[in-house]
Structure 1
Amino acid sequence: QWGTYKVQETKAPIGYKLSNEVESIKINSEDVSQLQSLVFNDTQILGKLNITKKGKDGVKLEGAEFTVSGPNGFKEVVTTNKDGVANLDNLQWGTYKVQETKAPEGYNLNNEVQTVQVTNASVGQVQSLTFNDTQVLGKLNITKTGKNGVKLEGAEFDVTGPNGFNKIVTTNKDGVASLDNLQWGTYTIKETKAPQGYKLNENTQSVVINSTDVSNIQNI
């Protein structure tokens, strides 16, 4: 019928924001023979991405850096917080590549490249990626010395540590017994056999291997 009509969008397509615009159109004797047209412009809903960093036993890791690249030259470096999560929002639709570029202290860099797509179908939900890092394992040198600091070969030490670790090591010609690939934790060292001509040292020593010192060789 002839008259004034008001038109308002009440449901937006998937992935788009509802337009609050109200448009009107008049139909009368002057234009009734022509097709009337209205255009409504909707804006895209922008995407969100959470990157989670985990270590051994699922512990959340702070301080991991990730480089995120995406459409239209997008590139951003983000860092995981105390909850092990780095957040990105306002992401245009497209494919994003995520790679760890700096590992948390005490962990090995994960060279895996993961991708995520932000599309109209998924943009209403937070996209999630998880990266798992392995711990840098520790090293320990046990040095045996005698009078005037002479290095002694043939001393045996019993080393015990976390998760039932127990190993006997013997000093070499340089007076050193070496251990590597040590899980984080506290290790106890006790001499169980002295070099020939020397008395057994009955003192027990301990060393702690953790994220802050695992990159250095521990010395006893």
Structure 2
Amino acid sequence: HNALKKVNIIVTKTAEDDVLENRTFEISGTTEGGQEFKQTGATNSEGKLTFTDVPYGDYIVREIDAPNYYVVPDEQEVTINADKDVNLTFDNTLKKGSVQLIKVDSKNPDKKLSGAEFAVYKDTNGDGVYADTDELIGYMEEVSKGVYFYDNLPFGNYFVNETKAPEGYNLDPTFYGFVINSEDTVTVQNKDGVFVNEEIPTQPTTTPPDAPQTGQKSYVVPLLIIIILSVGVIIFFIIRNKKKNK
């Protein structure tokens, strides 16, 4: 029997998050001589894996057991019919989702509020409690009146924090945690599916102290009468004293 001709298949793994080690790949197919062939292996720290001594034949190479937060790359078909190593590259992109919130008046849920700002933070240690070490990712966009949105968030844990309230409303300083674990849109809420703000109470208008209050009796006229009478009494006594002195 003639010895089977063999080559190496070299797999190079790349990933959006740069995690390259211990990613498992499988090669399976039929040799030129009609025999079934199958191997599995894991990448090293540089994302490299070499399938050695692969006989001439037709094969499929695929990544297996990829974490669920990756978009699994397509399998690749390989035909080996020449004495030359084969190089294949597989790239993993991260699955991403989005977050939205709908901002409304606390007493009138039909009244949507514009002009707010919301910061999005990555929960770096995944403990669900905001810390100064958590990474600021960016700010939500107001895509329509009172509707705020942020897209392309890789699977993971995050926070939303209101950094600016709509004019005339109180700020909600709480850091609200949420999880992206699907490619759908997550809604952040602080009450009944929406994000409410309380309106700042209107301060009552005060009347200056020297202005007469509505409904109160004016003392201007009686005061003038008292002054006139007092002056009259003083004049009377002055005239009387002059007459006595004559």
- The normalised TM-score by structure 1 is 0.52
Instruction: State the number of aligned residues.
Output: 172
Task: Tell me which residue corresponds to 1:98.
Answer: 61
Deviation per CA, 1:98-131, whole angstroms, max 9, x where unpaired?
3558854112232373536365x45xx8x65331
Task: Tell me which residue corresponds to 1:182.
Answer: 153
Structure 1 spans left out of the alignment, 5+ residues:
1-40
- Would the alpha carbon gap of residues 95 and 189 (structure 1) be closer, same or farther in structure 2, given more than 3 Å must change? same
CA distance in 2, matches of 1:112, 1:203: 45
Structure 1 residue 137 and structure 2 residue 100: aligned?
no
Deviation per CA, 1:34-84, whole angstroms, max 9, x where unpaired?
xxxxxxx66336555454543125322666665644443757595857977
Amino acid at match of 2:97: G
CA distance in 2, matches of 1:114, 1:132: 16
- Would the alpha carbon gap of residues 217 and 66 (structure 1) be closer, same or farther in structure 2, given more than 3 Å must change? farther
CA distance in 2, matches of 1:82, 1:106: 20
CA distance in 2, matches of 1:161, 1:199: 22
Task: Tell me which residue corresponds to 1:166.
Answer: 138
- Is contact 1:157-1:189 (8 Å) kept? no
Matches of residues 13-92 of structure 1 in structure 2 within 5 Å? 43-44=3-4, 49=9, 51-60=11-20, 68-71=28-31, 72=34, 74=36, 91-92=54-55
Which of 152, 155, 174 pairs up with 1:203? 174
- Would the alpha carbon gap of residues 112 and 101 (structure 1) be closer, same or farther in structure 2, given more than 3 Å must change? same
Structure 1 residue 217 and structure 2 residue 185: aligned?
yes
Amino acid at match of 1:105: N
SS of residue matched to 1:133: strand
Q: Calculate the aligned-residue CA RMSD, in Å.
A: 4.5
Structure 2 spans left out of the alignment, 5+ residues:
123-134, 189-246
- Structure having the higher helix fraction is 2
CA distance in 1, matches of 2:176, 2:25: 37
CA distance in 1, matches of 2:51, 2:110: 57
CA distance in 2, matches of 1:98, 1:181: 29
SS of residue matched to 1:115: strand
| Mean Cα deviation higher: 132-141 or 151-160 | 151-160
SS of residue matched to 1:181: strand
CA distance in 1, matches of 2:22, 2:68: 9
